[in-house]
Copies of this chain bind each other. A is one copy, B any other.
Amino acid sequence: MGEALTVQPLSREAFAPFGNVLETDGAELRMINEGTTERFHALARAELIADGAAIISIFRGQPRAFPYSVTMMERHPLGSQAFFPLDNRPWLVIAAEDEEGRPGRPQAFLADGRQGVNYRANVWHHPLMALGQTSSFLVVDRDGEGVNLEEWSYPAPYVIAAATG
């Protein structure tokens, strides 16, 4: 089967080694537009390395089945990548610290339907993990010249029994 991974709730503190959590709780709030709009300011900043542009895309991901085997990770050396759920549905975030050019043990986080993340450039993470139903996400990442994708397959899988931990 493979080594079991537990799932922890997504929080700024727990996710800090990997990037930002995009959520209103705890964010800097500015009132704008004559008091009609709350601006939760700069939850994340797009990183663009070696030029390139920040682009906005929509990802539509199929739901994953459990138990789920984490067999590989990827990273984007030239830019950050942000995901925000558009269906108010929980989803799974999986990231790992780098260990001499390879991903270490994955860490799995359950995001609620109002939480996004921004992976910093070169942070190992698992491809999009929607839950329950096909779900859409707004994505902000880098477009430009250069090789911006690296993948790594683990010698043995890690297994997530269920999305709720």
Chain A residues packing against B (C-beta within 8 Å): 22-24, 27, 32-34, 36-46, 48, 53-62, 64, 82, 84, 86-88, 114, 116, 118, 127-128, 136, 138-140, 143
Contacts and interface: CB of A to CB of B under 8 A. Distances in A.
Q: For A34, A58, A116, which residue has the most chain B Cβ atoms within 10 angstroms?
A: A58
Given A45-B143, A46-B46, A140-B140, A56 B82 contact: yes
Q: For the complex, would chain A's binding face be called helix, strand, loop or mixed by DSSP majority?
A: strand
Nearest to A34: B127
Contacts of A36: 61-62, 64, 127-128
A111 to B, nearest CB: 14
30 contacts: A22-B58, A23-B58, A27-B58, A33-B61, A33-B127, A34-B127, A36-B62, A36-B64, A37-B60, A39-B59, A40-B57, A41-B57, A42-B56, A42-B57, A43-B58, A44-B55, A45-B54, A46-B46, A46-B53, A46-B56, A46-B140, A48-B54, A56-B82, A56-B84, A56-B118, A56-B140, A84-B138, A86-B86, A87-B88, A138-B138
A149 to B, nearest CB: 10
Contact of A38 (B23, B43, B59): B59
Q: Which 7 A-B pairs have the closest CB atoms?
A: A33-B127, A54-B54, A46-B54, A40-B58, A38-B60, A42-B55, A44-B56
Contacts of A87: 88
